[in-house]
Amino acid sequence: MSRVAAVQMASGPNISANLIEAERLIGLAAEHGADLVVLPENFAIMGLEEEDKVKCREQDGEGPIQEFISRQAALHDVWIVGGTVPLSTDDPGKVYAACMLYDGSGARVARYDKMHLFDVHIEASMESYTESLTILPGDEVVVADTPFGRIGLAVCYDLRFPELFRYMLDQGAEIFAVPSAFTAHTGKAHWESLVRVRAIENLCYVIAPAQGGYHINGRETFGDSMIVDPWGVVLERLPNGAGVVVADIDLERLRGIRRGFPSISHRRLQIAPSQTGA
């Protein structure tokens, strides 16, 4: 059995201030015995403008945000999923939204670039988002071995695309880590349903940290960070405010559920690999 934590924040445009808060919350998670800590999407920066993340982009493998995650992992001897970090691309106007996994020594184990970009207009709240203006999408499904089980990485809007999670399942995923920053409007409508259904249909644990609160740029995010078991039970959650939720992951329970309720092996349709580019 392993203990995992989901961190909830309300990040702003000041990277140093965000990292100080992330450091506090990672330390709190470690104090509660967490072996794995998952940070939310955009934990290091929620800019005043979308272009702000491009201005603070880092080269792959170096930079203050990546160094921070590595240092915190080694300091607390915990594995960390580093939310998302803006990494350089060949296009000077765009970044990858990279979700990276570090082990307890501070070494990077895996990198996933957010695949599905949030280009939407929410009529009810008159909000518009066009992530593709500043982010390049990834095209690789990422599942990594850890001492806690095989972890599949996804980010926020990815939750709405079940085929991605099926691909991770087919690569042996037992846990999904999904750093997020749902809007208040879409979160109220869909957040819990999406997190729980990804757990239920794949018989996997889901660790879903989120941005939650009011941000300096005027945005409001939904929060409600949660950890869900393979039967869809919400083990722990934090409706609002900065903080940490901690729960135990039991792979024997997961395997027992899969043996007794073998819906995964009952699938009749398969998705062609060419459909994701993975």
Residue 164: which CATH number?
Answer: 3.60.110.10
Judge whether residue 274 has pLDDT over 60. Answer: no
The band of 278, judged by pLDDT with boundaries at 50, 70 and 90, is: very low
Considering 21, 41, 58, 174, which one is annotated as catalytic?
Answer: 41
83: in domain: yes
Burial class (CB in 10 A: 0-12, 13-18, 19+), 117: buried
**Contact of 166 with 122, CB cutoff 8 Å:** no
Any catalytic annotation for residue 41?
yes
64: in domain: yes
Any catalytic annotation for residue 99?
no
224: in domain: yes
271: in domain: no
Q: What is the mean pLDDT of residues 199-217?
A: 96
What is the C-alpha R_g of the chain? 17
Question: Quick check: pTM over 0.85?
Answer: yes
203: in domain: yes
Considering 114, 131, 174, 204, which one is annotated as catalytic?
Answer: 114
Name the token pair of 90. 């060949």
161: in domain: yes
57: in domain: yes
pLDDT at position 218: 84
Any catalytic annotation for residue 114?
yes
Judge whether residue 206 has pLDDT over 90. Answer: yes
The band of 273, judged by pLDDT with boundaries at 50, 70 and 90, is: low
Give the number of domains in the chain.
1
15: in domain: yes
Range of the domain at 136: 2-266
Considering 94, 131, 156, 174, which one is annotated as catalytic?
Answer: 156
